[in-house]
A and B are shown apart, each in its own frame.
Chain A
């Protein structure tokens, strides 16, 4: 391996870490709250922390902690996890063109690190890239690892501090704010704006569906509207 290519690995890795850091900061309060909630739901501290490493999916862990607290059976927990995390199917498909040339161990590792936050940062970076780096998977790795460390650490602190974190601080709001910071700058044209607005409104109206199914319905609505608007505007350009 030449020194030039290894420094480029490092460059991509460092850029991925740098891009993910502010997002990781926004996730820390969310991790703290998960820790508090998991203990309140009756999970033993070791299991609460293990769930962060084994499942590594914030919203599914939140819902699981609440369901366990409510005494829900295991089958419901598994089914809920499946539906809540179905959106990762879309992430997986989105990133597949960027990972298909990689050896299996890389793809297995990156799949483990494929969270909402790592996905959003990585795919938005890839979309905006002008030149394709052969080491771009290190960017994904850097972003994914940064979020992993932030999540494990913050849930551990949350479990340790427990009820000392008052709900009145509204720390859970940082998650929505982080996503606002990520998505708003992307809404530069009508198809993207339409996709965001329609998905958001669909999510509000479908919020009553069981197992958070509304999220999936909303995501698909947004995607369809985005494609429709994009095709519409390209047809208009052709007819001019």
Chain B
């Protein structure tokens, strides 16, 4: 199949998903339970992306001190909690990772 067509198809699928509930829920009043559930979407999805990046950097679970991403990520969490600043969090995490990689 032509790669351009595949990419356009990927775009249509992605856009349709993004538009779906914005359009479908337009005239429907969301129930309190659904509303309550949707409130947890950001912490749930973002954590589901973060955890494997820290705990399984090579594809398998690594809880040792040689897992630099776990240590750097843990430090970044502390910085994020204390400063509530995304830039500081990125800077601290990357600095820690580079430092740990050179040791």
Q: Are A178 and B14 in contact (CB under 8 A)?
A: no
Q: Are B19 and A222 in contact (CB under 8 A)?
A: no
Q: Are B44 and A219 in contact (CB under 8 A)?
A: yes
Q: What number of A-B contacts does a CB cutoff of 8 Å give? A: 269
Give the complex CA separation of A199 and B35 in angstroms.
18
Q: Are A23 and B86 in contact (CB under 8 A)?
A: yes
Q: A22-B86, A54-B8, A90-B45 are in contact. Are A184 and B77 (CB under 8 A)?
A: yes
Q: Are B41 and A96 in contact (CB under 8 A)?
A: no
Give the complex CA separation of A228 and B73 in angstroms.
28
Q: A51-B7, A227-B40 are in contact. Are A203 and B52 (CB under 8 A)?
A: yes
Q: A181-B76, A196-B43 are in contact. Are A60 and B56 (CB under 8 A)?
A: no
The smallest C-beta distance from A116 to any residue of chain B, in angstroms, reads: 7
Q: Looking at the complex, which one of B15, B21, B35, B39 makes contact with A89 (CB distance below 8 Å)?
A: B21
Give the complex CA separation of A227 and B72 in angstroms.
31
Q: Which residues of B contact A227 (CB under 8 A)?
A: 33, 36-37, 40
Central interface residue in B37, B90, B93, by most chain A CB within 10 Å: B90
Chain A 18-58 residues near chain B, CB threshold 8 A? 22-23, 25-26, 43, 47, 50-51, 54-57
A195 within 8 A of B: yes
Q: A55-B14, A81-B13, A207-B56 are in contact. Are A96 and B48 (CB under 8 A)?
A: no
A223 within 8 A of B: yes
Chain A 147-185 residues near chain B, CB threshold 8 A? 168, 170, 173-185
Q: Which residues of B contact A232 (CB under 8 A)?
A: none
Q: Are A179 and B25 in contact (CB under 8 A)?
A: no
Q: Are B11 and A179 in contact (CB under 8 A)?
A: no
Q: Are B43 and A215 in contact (CB under 8 A)?
A: no
Q: Looking at the complex, which one of A60, A91, A200, A220 makes contact with B47 (CB distance below 8 Å)?
A: A200
Q: Which residues of A contact B50 (CB under 8 A)?
A: 176, 179-180, 183, 200
Give the complex CA separation of A123 and B72 in angstroms.
27
Chain B 23-46 residues near chain A, CB threshold 8 A? 23-27, 30, 33-46
Q: A92-B21, A107-B23, A114-B18 are in contact. Are A85 and B38 (CB under 8 A)?
A: no
Q: Looking at the complex, which one of B3, B15, B20 makes contact with A68 (CB distance below 8 Å)?
A: B3
Q: Are B80 and A203 in contact (CB under 8 A)?
A: no
The smallest C-beta distance from A108 to any residue of chain B, in angstroms, reads: 7
Q: Which residues of A contact B17 (CB under 8 A)?
A: 82, 85-86, 88-89, 92
Q: Are A181 and B19 in contact (CB under 8 A)?
A: no
A191 within 8 A of B: yes
Q: Are B7 and A54 in contact (CB under 8 A)?
A: yes
- Residue of chain B at shortest CB distance from A92: B21
Q: Are B43 and A226 in contact (CB under 8 A)?
A: yes
Q: Are B49 and A181 in contact (CB under 8 A)?
A: no
Q: Known A-B contacts: A47-B3, A93-B41. Give 17 more (CB < 8 A).
A: A25-B90, A54-B8, A56-B11, A74-B6, A77-B10, A81-B14, A92-B21, A99-B22, A120-B42, A173-B93, A174-B94, A180-B93, A182-B46, A182-B86, A184-B77, A199-B47, A230-B36
Q: Which 10 A-B pairs have the closest CB atoms?
A: A222-B44, A200-B51, A181-B89, A181-B86, A226-B40, A54-B11, A92-B21, A218-B48, A74-B1, A184-B80
